Amino acid sequence: MHYHLKEVTTAAHRKAFLMLPVKLYQNNPYWVRPLDADIEKVFDPTKNKFFAHGKCIRWLLENDRGEVVGRVAAFVNNKTIMQDNDQPTGGMGFFECINDQAAAFQLFDTCKNWLQQQGMEAMDGPINFGERDSWWGLLTEGFDRIPNYGMFYHHPYYKDLFEAYGFREYFRQFTFYRPVDQDLSPVLKARAERIYRNPDYRFECIDKKNLMKYAEDFRTIYNKAWTKHEGVSEMTREQAQNLIKQMAPILDPKIIYFAYYKEEPIAFYINIPDLNQALKVMNTGKFNLLGIIRFLWFKLTKDFDKMVGLVFGVVPEFQGRGVESAIVGYARQITNVKNFRYKHLEMNWIGDFNPKMIKVAQMLGSEVAKVHTTYRYLFNPNQSFRKPTVIQ
């Protein structure tokens, strides 16, 4: 069988790019179709800010009968090509393919050749032409669970295709799971109680009438807790406000928590409902009138019974004092009511290079439920392979 590449340039190509996974996963009970608009905006220069300092291309792979059997994208982000890298590194992603090594290798070769033309010496994949928080990594464990929104589900054979080509594990991203009604251990309860006895500490759920206040509190904590990490830039007030505005339609105040010390924000614990539970029922890829009707039907007649932990942070000077236990203990107080709708919690995207956050997740009694793997392929196999710097 011979395969033929086509660069995605037309509306028909774009539709085929979106529809290939629908065909590949049509009999899989765990796959959830993403919203078409969320995939397409990655490739839209008017909507994706990464085009301001990078470039992107994508292809379809067809067989001799003109059937689409694969797809992939490649991209260069000029701000990150040397970030913690020993060689200029580009990316590839949005890979989907039939279980055929020749087809997969042709897609990988195409990405490699294009990236070499851009001056790259390595490629990471499958990753996103955007932030790490979505569409990043290959599912390598947890095939019996539906993905959280913004994370791809993949066929198990994809791992074999990547590794047969020569991709090597760069880092793993863990998704931790715990039942919402799981109590804190006696040790964590004791640590939390010490915090509660100090009147200088205060904990609260957000108030949707005052979202901009929480946007600023979020920014304050984020900048203190994360900007010390390599490659993480300070969040601006505008960025924080835009983030909260985008999340506003799905925010549930009962599952977003902030901690304060002498009225200064010191920690947050932010969860959202897992939209994939609704999207699986909608199964249209579109948030059009039909999609909205199905979404509202699901919201009114079914339970969103899983929430996703988006981010957990404590400012450095309060880390290790028990604030982590106290804010989770406060969340447990809020959720420990009859008929609380959320039964399951998954904490997304904790990299194996972040042992502190892994320790926090384990401390809370969580277990790894899914693993996504980000691979790296060095174009010159004689170069040394180095994994990411561990966050201390």
pLDDT value, residue 310 = 85
Q: Rounded to whole angstroms, what are the CA distances from 205 to 90, 129, 268, 269, 313?
A: 41, 33, 10, 10, 15
Please tell me the predicted confidence (pLDDT) of residue 133: 85
Cis peptide leading into residue 126 (ω within 30°): yes
**Residue range 10-22: mean pLDDT, rounded:** 97
**180 and 345 in contact (C-beta within 8 Å)?**
yes
Q: Is the pLDDT of residue 31 over 80?
A: yes
Residue-wise pLDDT tens digits, 245-304: 888 877 889 999 999 999 999 999 999 888 888 787 766 776 665 566 566 666 655 667
- Residues of the chain with pLDDT > 70, as a percent, come to 93
CB 126 within 8 A of CB 71: no
Return the top range by mean pLDDT from 162-171, 311-320, 362-371, 380-389.
162-171
Model pLDDT, residue 46: 95
- Write down the pLDDT at residue 229: 58
The mean pLDDT of the chain is 91
231 has a pLDDT exceeding 60 = no
pLDDT bucket at 228, cuts 50 / 70 / 90: low
* Residue scoring higher pLDDT (302 or 242): 242
- Kindly provide the b/e burial profile for residues 168-183, where b requires at least 16 CB atoms within 10 angstroms of the residue's own CB: ebbbbbbbbbbebeee
Structure tokens at 218: 């979020």
Residue with the two structure tokens 């791809």 = 152
**pLDDT, average across residues 167-190:** 94
In order of start, what are the domains of the chain with their CATH numbers? Answer: 4-173+374-378 (3.40.630.30), 181-342 (3.40.630)
- H or E, element range at 12: helix 11-24
Instruction: Examine the pLDDT at 318 and tell me if it is beyond 70.
Output: yes
- The pLDDT assigned to 247 comes to 82
The 10 Å CB-count burial string (b at 16+, else e) for 260-269 is: ebeeebbbbb
What pLDDT was estimated at residue 311?
A: 86
Assign 3-state DSSP to the chain and report helix, strand, coil percentages, each to 5: 35, 25, 35
Spatial distance between the Cα atoms of 163 and 356, rounded to a whole number of angstroms: 29
